[in-house]
Amino acid sequence: MISRDGTCMSVWQNTVAPFNSQHFSISDQIYDVVIVGGGITGVSTAFLLQQSGKKCLLLEANNLCYGTTGGTTAHLNTLLDTPYNAIANKFGDDKAKLVASSVREAIESMKRRISDINFDCGFRNATAYLFAKDEKQEKELAEIKESALKVGVDCGYVSSMSYPFLFRKAIQIEDQAKFIPTRYVYALAHEFENLGGIIQEQTRVTGVEENETINVETSAGNFECRALVYATHIPPAVNLLHLRCIPYRSYAMAVRLKGNNYSEALAYDMEDPYNYYRSQEIDGKTYLIAGGFDHKTAHEEDTEYRFLQLESHLRKSFDISEVKYKWSSQYFEADDGIPYIGHLPGHPGNIYVATGFGGNGMVYSTVAANLLSKMILGQNSLYIDLYDPNRIKPIAGFTQFIKHNADVVKQFASKLFDADKLEVLADLAPGEGRLVKYEDHKIALYKDEYGKLYALSPVCTHLKCDVRWNSAEKSWDCPCHGARYAIDGKVLTGPADRDLEKIPLAVVRT
């Protein structure tokens, strides 16, 4: 089993065993490319570059698929969360067509890789349904369909679908797909290693300095490279992109149905937030995998309640024999609707980034890998301008803002708090976390199942917002830019790259 950035278990975590690297990094070597992040974006990019003759080092702070790749529901779509009419309104018809062709090519390139390397990751072509339940949605559906046809996505109205939902109108979209993301990533990672690439897990990047080459500081020493890719879902440090990408949490479940009546298709309703459905066979067992009930990260007080809502929603339409897995996962939505892939803003040289994939992370990860590998290889692409992160306008005063905020001072180093007093004050149940106020300090306090207290400074080490408790995944989540921390303060999700400050507790006898 592999680990993930939360305590809930996703349906994918048992599909692969922990990765065993075959090669080790060499510190006095200059790598052509260092790729930071061992999810689908990082591993796909690393594989393509190594295959093209570049000497690559992939650094992962935890283990492969630790982040959203291990918590996705793995839909591969050409009909995207941001409808083509919205993309066309903002960027024009030609760019909407380019978005459509980039995602179509991404799915085709994934198929090619699976067939060339010859591995099984449960990949299946699938049709998808998008269905409207009221008049307003019906009108939106008509616009979505027209704009999809205009950019070459094959879709049309149907009078029935292989899901037990009531609907007024539905469209069927051809040539979508589904797969097991962990098995796909692991197969590419092994092939990357066979080609001479190096994967180093448990290595967090803590700083980057650009000179003639790029010096990469990590928790396991320094490395040097000519180009660097942040495939970390959101880049670390402080960047304009943090103001342009909004973090959301989505809730998912893998359930077994009575009667084995699983649809092979993908399906989406048009609620806000929308719900999504598909099935997957894993090692001889089929699951209905469904999700939804999204909210902005750290903007929901009772995250466990979202699971109850999802389960009761599913039980209305499906005869469920067992809820086998339930988990939540994070995604970052670009504020203008399409991802940011290319040169990291403020770094026009050789530092690259891919972020803002919204709910289409699996397909955009491959769009990013295809595009970034071309850029680093010095090849041209129709998609460079389309996804250019530097399309965002600079913000006046941003540099001062960074200087003012980036300096997080340790507040608790010389203080010792009375554990007994805190416990009485907080009155936490086992497994509960809460922000408490004690002697003019805010403290992020958690009590584990055995009664042990964990006290942390709630000040996010990214830009100093206060974190909030996420009861579903037992983590401290930041409402500002989506950083997340474990109960012991360890970073689970960027952009933070430093842990929350631990507060020393002692039993003070009087």
Nearest-angstrom CA–CA distance, 509 and 140: 66
Closest CB to ligand FES among residues 128, 237: 237
Look up residue 139 and give its two tokens: 């009108």
231 contacts ligand FES (rule: CB under 6 A):
no
Q: Please give the biggest Cα pair distance in the chain.
A: 77
Write down the residue that tokens 């291990």 correspond to: 70
Q: Report the nearest approach of ligand FES to the CB of residue 205 (Å).
A: 17
Exposed/middle/buried for residue 360 (C-beta within 10 Å: 0-12, 13-18, 19+): buried
Closest CB to ligand FES among residues 236, 342: 236
Residue 283 CB-half CA count within 13 A? 7
Q: Say if residue 339 is preceded by a cis peptide, omega within 30 of 0.
A: no
Nearest-angstrom CA–CA distance, 57 and 34: 5
Closest CB to ligand FES among residues 382, 406: 406
Q: Report the nearest approach of ligand FES to the CB of residue 397 (Å).
A: 17
Q: What are the two backbone dihedrals, phi and then psi, of residue 207, each rounded to the nearest 5 degrees?
A: -175, 155
Which x/- pattern, by CB under 6 A, does the window 401-440 give for ligand FES? Answer: ----------------------------------------
Nearest-angstrom CA–CA distance, 266 and 115: 23
The pairing of beta strand 56-59 with beta strand 198-200: parallel
Q: Report the nearest approach of ligand FES to the CB of residue 456 (Å).
A: 13
Strand partners, 207: 217
Strands (E), 258-343: 266-268, 276-282, 285-296, 320-334, 340-343
Nearest-angstrom CA–CA distance, 314 and 143: 28
Cβ–Cβ under 8 Å, residues 114 and 184: yes
Q: Report the nearest approach of ligand FES to the CB of residue 482 (Å).
A: 6
Segment (H or E) for 182: helix 181-194
Q: Report the nearest approach of ligand FES to the CB of residue 8 (Å).
A: 21
Closest CB to ligand FES among residues 266, 467: 467
Q: Report the nearest approach of ligand FES to the CB of residue 60 (Å).
A: 20
Cβ–Cβ under 8 Å, residues 245 and 333: yes
Query: DSSP letter at 500?
Result: P
Closest CB to ligand FES among residues 342, 482: 482
Closest CB to ligand FES among residues 197, 356: 356
The pairing of beta strand 453-456 with beta strand 468-470: unpaired
Closest CB to ligand FES among residues 229, 496: 496
Look up residue 82 and give its two tokens: 């941001």
Closest CB to ligand FES among residues 389, 482: 482
Q: Report the nearest approach of ligand FES to the CB of residue 162 (Å).
A: 41
Cβ–Cβ under 8 Å, residues 365 and 331: no
Q: Report the nearest approach of ligand FES to the CB of residue 455 (Å).
A: 19
Which of 80, 81, 117, 116 shows the shortest CA–CA distance to 100?
Answer: 80
Number of residues that bind ligand FES (CB under 6 A): 12
User: Binders of ligand FES among 449-488, rule CB under 6 A?
Assistant: 460, 462-465, 478, 480-483
Q: Report the nearest approach of ligand FES to the CB of residue 102 (Å).
A: 29
Cβ neighbours around 395 below 10 Å, total: 11
Closest CB to ligand FES among residues 73, 330: 330
Q: Report the nearest approach of ligand FES to the CB of residue 266 (Å).
A: 32
Closest CB to ligand FES among residues 460, 492: 460
Closest CB to ligand FES among residues 324, 464: 464
Closest CB to ligand FES among residues 170, 460: 460
User: Which of 46, 54, 495, 503 is in the footprint of ligand FES by CB under 6 A?
Assistant: 495
Q: Report the nearest approach of ligand FES to the CB of residue 348 (Å).
A: 24
Strand partners, 177: 76, 125
Closest CB to ligand FES among residues 11, 491: 491
Q: Report the nearest approach of ligand FES to the CB of residue 293 (Å).
A: 22
Which of 445, 448, 462 shows the shortest CA–CA distance to 502?
Answer: 445
Cβ–Cβ under 8 Å, residues 321 and 256: yes
Look up residue 299 and give its two tokens: 């903007």
Nearest-angstrom CA–CA distance, 394 and 390: 9
Q: Report the nearest approach of ligand FES to the CB of residue 356 (Å).
A: 15
Which residues in this chain contact ligand FES in the complex, by CB under 6 A?
460, 462-465, 478, 480-483, 495-496
